[in-house]
Chain A
């Protein structure tokens, strides 16, 4: 149970794999296009914390810390990160990780396949607190050694000053966050981005909003580019709006950034058909989840047109969904009264 493939049944246990991996497993198992990979489970995280004695040390370090003291938090972050960097995996974890990585290489018929190493916390993605972007993701790791290091870096990201502050703000102890880590084939992305199955601006549930740019999606998530923006109507799947973005840079891999030449900047990075195909996937995912979702995707160069849209992650949308679920509406008992109330409301605006 230390590593679990997306297509295994146990991959649907959120306590074991965390929110992000759960989403990927659900997508994989319902036939949606997801880059192949596996999850290093929360059990591996616990075992590592126990066997290395890290859990006790972290709890002690954080016991008396002033939650509002930025300098103290930053010092703690550096200390904890160093502890994770230095502490090798227990042999059992390393053995399973090696098997899982080799298996992935085999599935992708590529030696030393490049992978993305991504945090998948169980407190993460809980409705009400999105933890969006609080924990780290690394792209372009190769070989078991490197993958193992970045798995530990993901774990350590539960203790960055920023994520600890966020956890406390939401009433959660950082040490109680259960961190699983997703290891997934790096998408050879010609373009990538984020999709919401509602309008992030207005909460309109009949809209699907897509933001995309060239290269990997890091620059969209990180706000480093103004992406191209597409709005597709959920009903009818018409492209109702598209706005050209700046797209000044692109991530070629996790760390290599290149300028985008002006001619490409002035073109949309997704075709209209791709935007609509994405929206269709978004609609399917929303239906499966039973509520609006927030999706990361990429267009994979290695795959043929028509089936090159890859979903990287799918999480419940938290902000608007809660409001919609709680939205109250009175039935119309008296038509005249409804007209009056409506005209008065109109006046107030």
Chain B
């Protein structure tokens, strides 16, 4: 493998129409000439799990925050012994990341000593620290909720005078923008507070199983640990619950009518039972529908609350099944029993010493797993939904005060540029002149819209640079599914473009044949037909209700531990993740054979 490499960033031509793309992002996120040697000598893989499309300048705040969070935790706080954080670049609009393994034994030793102490503290106090973590997250969410972005008035409100403030009330817009950014960086530090440790602990069990049972499937190890209950299942559970109460109240035909949201609610409003159900639905929305169909890293992504047709569609699917006499309850007790039985059977194959370690490692994994599974709900779903809602409020205000023409304009500025624009808007308003840079920005935004269109039309390249002989970074392997094998296959795929076989990571067992449907946007989920195989850049756990329709799932990226893979297994849906190219190589309607145990997708 040492001879084979991916393209270097500087060798790649700029997509036509995207010239000047690099000026849109903070300078440190895009390749710089002085970093070329370091960039060339390492592996950069696309983080399409978080950013499946080219990111708008403002949305690149996520790339900053996520990799600040990983870095500060891995490198500086718990001092992971064998790896630093993940370096990050935006290239041609896509986000690329780079694992940074530590190989110097002295350095490892120094960090291991610190890690032993610090990680030890977390493991000893895990449940308490997790409870505290939830409180911190809730507090941050509440603070973000409270941030307001009122348009600048003609005159300051009375209290500025009568209470002797002596400063502008509208200064809050600037302040709240800074606070919002700070909260966003804060929640992303929280996100990784316990995640690296969680993965580390899980890896102990994973590695033990791999050594004791060299041929065990990754997904089998995960099945022994994964929770069968938890808030990650709640949004979908709420859909099932609402479908059940709806059908029980005789509203099944209304709910499954397939009509637009307004018409469905108008029909419901006509009866007492319908109104009661609608009230229940309304009460469920916060927090359970603060749920992104994807992960909420791009401003245009919608939560169920932003587009109620998504949860209604899920409810409709469950209602149809209920009316057909099906039981839609997840058999939780049975799942838990099966999980224990599975672990018990593996344990029985071991000698007594091994069995003891198996138990220890399994218990440790099960202790940390709720965090691994649930943190997304707090961060990616709940926090992000508030964050983007607040950014939208700011955007509306910027339009109201005449700085931007369109609510989409804001996202074409990066977070530093937006800070300048706000300063301009506020100071100009204070002085009493029109914003000095509005026209300049209008011209720039028009140009950037063209660049974004060109970048979005480009299909993603899975990796750049020189891969290491072996990929060992725990995040790369566990979360992104970027393994040595996968990198080798990506390299091979460059040679054989017409390959009839895509290889990925087996994420959920089962073999299925059928036509594929490429889903790039959550609003395309409704197009899925029974028996189709869903192919997407990432698997989105919130598509769970669609899983009763499709027969399999294929994604470009994602590891065994990606939240989506866990949920796919849970729903018994054959899945292959981390194929690198499936969503760009396959075409809707094409027939494939998906083998979820071997991790292959064969074009038929």
Which residues of A does B touch, CB under 8 Å?
A: 199, 202-207, 231, 234-236, 238, 240-241, 324-325, 327-332, 334-340, 342-347, 349
Q: Determine the distance from Cα of A349 to Cα of B82 in the docked complex, in whole angstroms.
A: 13
| Nearest CB in chain B: distance from A342 CB, A | 5
Which of these binds chain A: B10-18, B115-123, B458-466, B492-500? B115-123
Q: Determine the distance from Cα of A207 to Cα of B214 in the docked complex, in whole angstroms.
A: 10
Q: Determine the distance from Cα of A333 to Cα of B555 in the docked complex, in whole angstroms.
A: 39
A338 to chain B: which residues have CB within 8 Å?
201, 204, 360-361, 364
Which of A204, A329, A346, A347 counts the most B-chain CB atoms under 10 A from its CB?
A329
Interface residues of B in 118-143 (CB under 8 A from A): 118-120, 122-124
Given contacts A327-B354, A340-B116, A343-B203, A332 and B345 within 8 Å (CB-CB): no
Given contacts A340-B116, A347-B472, A335 and B214 within 8 Å (CB-CB): no
User: Which 3 pairs, one residue from A and one from B, show the smallest C-beta to C-beta distance?
Assistant: A332-B360, A202-B214, A335-B123
Say yes or no: B351 contacts A339, CB within 8 Å. no
Q: Determine the distance from Cα of A345 to Cα of B349 in the docked complex, in whole angstroms.
A: 24
B472 to chain A: which residues have CB within 8 Å?
346-347, 349
Q: Determine the distance from Cα of A329 to Cα of B470 in the docked complex, in whole angstroms.
A: 26
Say yes or no: B80 contacts A343, CB within 8 Å. yes
| Candidates B117, B357, B509; contact of A330 at CB < 8 Å | B357
Q: Could you say which interface size class chain B belongs to?
A: 35 or more
Interface residues of B in 192-247 (CB under 8 A from A): 197, 200-201, 203-204, 207-208, 212-217
A235 to chain B: which residues have CB within 8 Å?
342, 345-346
| Candidates B117, B207, B356, B597; contact of A331 at CB < 8 Å | B356
Say yes or no: B474 contacts A343, CB within 8 Å. yes
Given contacts A202-B215, A339-B203, A332 and B351 within 8 Å (CB-CB): no
| Nearest CB in chain A: distance from B132 CB, A | 19
Say yes or no: A339 contacts B357, CB within 8 Å. no
Say yes or no: B108 contacts A344, CB within 8 Å. yes
Say yes or no: B351 contacts A327, CB within 8 Å. yes
Q: Is the interface of B mostly helix, strand, loop or mixed?
A: helix
Say yes or no: B364 contacts A329, CB within 8 Å. no
Q: Determine the distance from Cα of A156 to Cα of B125 in the docked complex, in whole angstroms.
A: 70
A335 to chain B: which residues have CB within 8 Å?
119-120, 123-124, 201, 204, 364
Known pairs A240-B217, A335-B119 / 16 extra A-B pairs, C-beta < 8 Å: A199-B214, A202-B214, A204-B213, A204-B214, A204-B216, A205-B212, A206-B213, A231-B215, A235-B345, A238-B509, A331-B360, A335-B120, A336-B117, A339-B197, A339-B201, A346-B472
Say yes or no: B103 contacts A347, CB within 8 Å. yes
| Nearest CB in chain A: distance from B148 CB, A | 44
A202 to chain B: which residues have CB within 8 Å?
214-215
| Candidates B82, B217, B364, B509; contact of A344 at CB < 8 Å | B82
| Candidates A199, A207, A346; contact of B203 at CB < 8 Å | A346
B103 to chain A: which residues have CB within 8 Å?
347
Say yes or no: A332 contacts B364, CB within 8 Å. yes
| Nearest CB in chain B: distance from A230 CB, A | 13
Q: Determine the distance from Cα of A203 to Cα of B357 in the docked complex, in whole angstroms.
A: 19
B586 to chain A: which residues have CB within 8 Å?
none
Question: Can you name 14 A-B pairs with beta carbons within 8 Å?
Answer: A205-B350, A206-B349, A235-B342, A241-B598, A327-B212, A327-B354, A328-B353, A329-B353, A332-B357, A336-B122, A338-B361, A338-B364, A339-B119, A345-B207
